[in-house]
Chain A
Amino acid sequence: DGGITQSPKYLFRKEGQNVTLSCEQNLNHDAMYWYRQDPGQGLRLIYYSQIVNDFQKGDIAEGYSVSREKKESFPLTVTSAQKNPTAFYLCASSMSRQSTDTQYFGPGTRLTVL
């Protein structure tokens, strides 16, 4: 089955610890994205990557970092510099950078910082 995998589904961390969220896709898509969703709000873009070894900041990149060493993988690290990291994190991918391309979403990771 083709799709986007995010793991784990639930993640708990202590304050001050860095944590890395996994995102893998086997759709052969060039572009990948990370969004953050807070209760009652829409999604906000953290980072995106249009090609391997390249990525761009989104609207709320502070306190986050990413890498894109392989086409199918786009991990997100939530650092201790992120002031309010508890949220639902969604990864997405699309075939290319064309604006008409549909973005396909993974099931999400719910991060809770204790």
Chain B
Amino acid sequence: GNSVTQMEGPVTLSEEAFLTINCTYTATGYPSLFWYVQYPGEGLQLLLKATKADDKGSNKGFEATYRKETTSFHLEKGSVQVSDSAVYFCALTRSSGSARQLTFGSGTQLTVLP
């Protein structure tokens, strides 16, 4: 079946530090890949997505590249801000079949200190 494995948190960084949150997946077929962000007490917001191999998703300074050969979709940001403190979820969907499901990783808590 499908699964997503994320780097365990919590992750604590100083402002302007470089961020990497690892995400690897297991899936049959050709899934689409997503990063969602959840701020305290709120629902999830889409951060970025990639729908095929070698695609790079980017938004608000965050980037992730769909690597089929390593089944990975690592999230990166060159210089984090205090406002980036949140929980980040990696997720995938299958591209075939009648059942449509979004499979999530367990989330990585990021805290950025001033």
Q: Hey, which bits of chain A sit against chain B, CB under 8 A?
A: 4, 6, 31, 33, 40-45, 48, 50, 56, 58-59, 90, 92, 97, 99-100, 102-108
Contact = CB atoms under 8 A, between A and B. Distances in A.
Given A42-B106, A43-B44, A103-B46, 18 more contacts: A6-B43, A31-B100, A40-B106, A42-B91, A44-B104, A58-B101, A90-B43, A90-B44, A92-B102, A99-B31, A100-B49, A102-B46, A105-B36, A105-B43, A105-B45, A107-B43, A108-B42, A108-B43
Contacts of B34: 102
Given A56-B99, A90-B43, A99 B105 contact: no
B94 interface: yes
Contacts of A33: 102
A99 B95 CA distance: 5
Contacts of A6: 43
27 contacts: A6-B43, A31-B100, A40-B106, A40-B107, A41-B106, A41-B107, A42-B4, A42-B105, A42-B107, A45-B102, A48-B100, A48-B101, A50-B100, A58-B101, A59-B101, A92-B44, A92-B102, A99-B31, A99-B93, A99-B100, A100-B32, A100-B95, A102-B34, A104-B46, A105-B36, A105-B44, A107-B42
